[in-house]
């Protein structure tokens, strides 16, 4: 029994074909892959149809020794399964993995900081929590949970480098290894409010 996985988020059929044993690679499959690299939107739609048809035929012809597992976010998965009646009839078992919680995403960021020797100052930690909480809501597309945390970390490191590059004077190791709220949000701290005009002397 062979088992293969597909990421629907990057077009399920592409990874199906790349993971299949070479004995399943038909001339039609190879032609589809070459076509997809050069095609426009219409050709890609036609290629997708051919890919699904090829996948379904392989699942039927090798149903005794081929297992296909597809994985992806809920809405892309629905579109994938609804794209062909044959898919809906063959994929009838589903496992729902809940999204990471806010605390788990914070822990992921902390692990990345620890592995690279960075620390977060208190304001940065507060800002990070707000950013992750905002970006990981269902209404925001593209955050990607763990991938989103990794991107936040890499972006913070880049911002820190830019910030320190504008710093005058000596840069200490502590400064190099500390991430601030500005690094997390990309927003420069507002200038300190000007002091109120001194009151006139009492008569």
Contacts 24+ apart (CB under 8 A), 59-67: 59/90, 62/24, 65/1, 65/2, 66/1, 66/2, 66/4, 66/24, 67/1, 67/2, 67/3, 67/4
Residues of the chain with pLDDT under 50: 1-25, 191-199, 202-203
pLDDT at 18: 40
| Block residue for tokens 């763990």 | 146
| pLDDT for position 61 | 86
- pLDDT tens for residues 73-117? 788 888 888 888 888 888 888 888 888 899 999 999 999 999 999
CA distances 133 to 23, 148, 194, Å, are: 47, 12, 33
DSSP codes, 185-202: H-PPPPPPPPPPPPPPPP
Rounded distance, CA 50 to CA 87, Å?
A: 13
Residue 143 has a pLDDT of 72
User: In angstroms, rounded to a whole number, what is the distance separating the alpha carbons of residues 136 and 145?
Assistant: 7
What does the pLDDT read at residue 92?
81
């Amino acid at each position: 029994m062979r088992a293969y996985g597909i990421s629907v988020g990057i077009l399920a059929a592409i990874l199906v074909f790349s993971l299949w044993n070479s004995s399943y690679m038909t001339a039609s499959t190879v032609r589809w892959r070459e076509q997809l690299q050069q095609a426009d939107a219409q050709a890609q739609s036609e290629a997708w149809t051919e890919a699904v048809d090829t996948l379904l035929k392989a699942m039927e012809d090798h149903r005794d020794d081929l297992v296909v597992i597809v994985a992806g976010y809920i809405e892309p998965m629905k579109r994938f399964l609804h794209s062909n009646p044959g898919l809906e009839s063959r994929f009838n078992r589903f496992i729902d993995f809940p999204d990471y919680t806010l605390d788990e995403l914070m822990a992921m960021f902390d692990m990345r900081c620890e592995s690279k020797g960075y620390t977060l100052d208190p304001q940065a930690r507060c800002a990070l929590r707000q950013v992750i909480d905002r970006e990981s809501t269902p209404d925001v597309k593209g955050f990607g949970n763990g991938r989103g945390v990794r991107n936040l970390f890499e972006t913070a490191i880049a911002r820190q480098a830019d910030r320190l590059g504008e710093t005058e004077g000596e840069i200490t190791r502590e400064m190099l290894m500390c991430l601030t709220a500005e690094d997390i949000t990309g927003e420069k701290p507002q200038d300190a409010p000007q002091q109120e005009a001194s009151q006139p002397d009492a008569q």
